[in-house]
Amino acid sequence: MQKEDFIALAQKYAHNKCSPSEKEAVETFFLKQMEKEQNSVILSLTEEKRNAILRKINTEINTPKGKLRSLYFKTATIAAIAILLLGIPFLITQSTSKSLLTQSAAKGEIKTLFLPDGSQLILNANSSITYSTDFKDNRKLVLKGEAYFKVVRNPKSPFTIETSQFKTKVLGTSFTIRAYENYTNTISVLSGKVEVNSKENPSQKIYLIKNQQLRFQKSQVPQLSNNSRQDFLAWTKNIVILENTSLGETAEILRNKFDVTILFDNPELEQLRISGKFKEENITTILKSIAEVKQLEIDFETPNKIFIRENRKK
């Protein structure tokens, strides 16, 4: 495919006007260029700059679950258009503007961080925050996963955290936010006061004070409750607390905490509910306790691949 043909098709692709065959052609062409590294314009850029433009465009697109592959190709294609149409000077110009920084904790890891304004946070496993390099003047960040925040007070600059389901605004306080994709999302306040509004109903503001927790579940009204400080911070102390938690969500918690794969032989098992508190326990102990209560079988196919099955001996 010639450069001019690719640009024409890529522009149609970016506006969702491609036929299925044209869409496949664009995706195939671009992937070949990236994989084989034959495109001289793209190769003239450093890897850092190539990744930077992909990240920058990616942050402008909010895509629901199930469209990640489509998002990748659209992001990559738009980046390719920018590179091919505008060339290296465009990227040099972009690199001098405000850029985004991402800090993350891998599965099985908890990480303590300090933000440019002096605020402290603890990232739970499989979590990340993204914020601008001018964070001191613009205290906004995006959270994926779970984090504890201890925010430095600044009345002139509110501190805002955005997740896929809600936005939280504070001046100076301490709180935790859980915003994993497949979890019940929560905001829990340890001190001070926070303002929350959901993406589904942005005009409705909910205020939380010390020891209050707001729970978000898909297609349900947010629920406000009172909880203890110890429960809010349990995960920072290597404690797993389950409160009428589905087995499916419990599996997600354990996947992140221990970096393992957990599979169910029957999807209905994921709907079972479990409560319990596990302090500094290993995954074997936790799963065996759950299996005993719910009469299940736990099969460690490998140390990192676990099957949860119905008890065949019942």
Least Cα distance to 162 among 65, 229, 62, 234 occurs for: 62
Q: How far apart are CA 309 and CA 307, in angstroms?
A: 6
Average pLDDT, the chain: 80
- pLDDT, one tens digit per residue, over 31-63 is 555 544 444 444 444 455 555 545 544 554 444
What is the DSSP-derived secondary structure letter of residue 82? H
pLDDT above 90 (res 176):
yes
pLDDT digits (tens, 9 = 90+) for 181-201: 878 899 999 999 999 998 888
pLDDT at res. 305: 95
Confidence of residue 108 (pLDDT cuts 50, 70, 90): very high
Residues 6+ positions from 118 with CB-CB distance below 8 Å: 152
Nearest to 30 by CA among 84, 68, 90: 84
pLDDT of residue 36: 46
Residue 115 three-state SS: coil
Give the C-alpha separation, 116 to 135, whole Å.
7
Residues facing residue 212 across a β-bridge: 226
Query: Is the pLDDT assigned to residue 68 strictly greater than 80?
Result: no
At residue 94, the pLDDT reads 40
Q: What tens digit of pLDDT does each residue of 233-269 get? A: 899 999 999 989 999 999 999 999 999 999 999 999 9
Query: What is the pTM (predicted TM-score) of this model?
Result: 0.66
- Say how far apart CA 126 and CA 145 lie, in whole Å: 6
* pLDDT computed for residue 69 by the predictor: 46
192-238: pLDDT as tens digits: 999 999 888 888 899 999 999 999 877 678 889 887 767 888 999 99
pLDDT category at 9 given cuts 50, 70, 90 is low
Structure tokens at 244: 């009428």
Q: Which residue has the tokens 């671009």?
A: 30
In order of start, what are the domains of the chain with their CATH numbers? 3-96 (no CATH), 100-232 (2.60.120.1440), 238-310 (3.55.50.30)
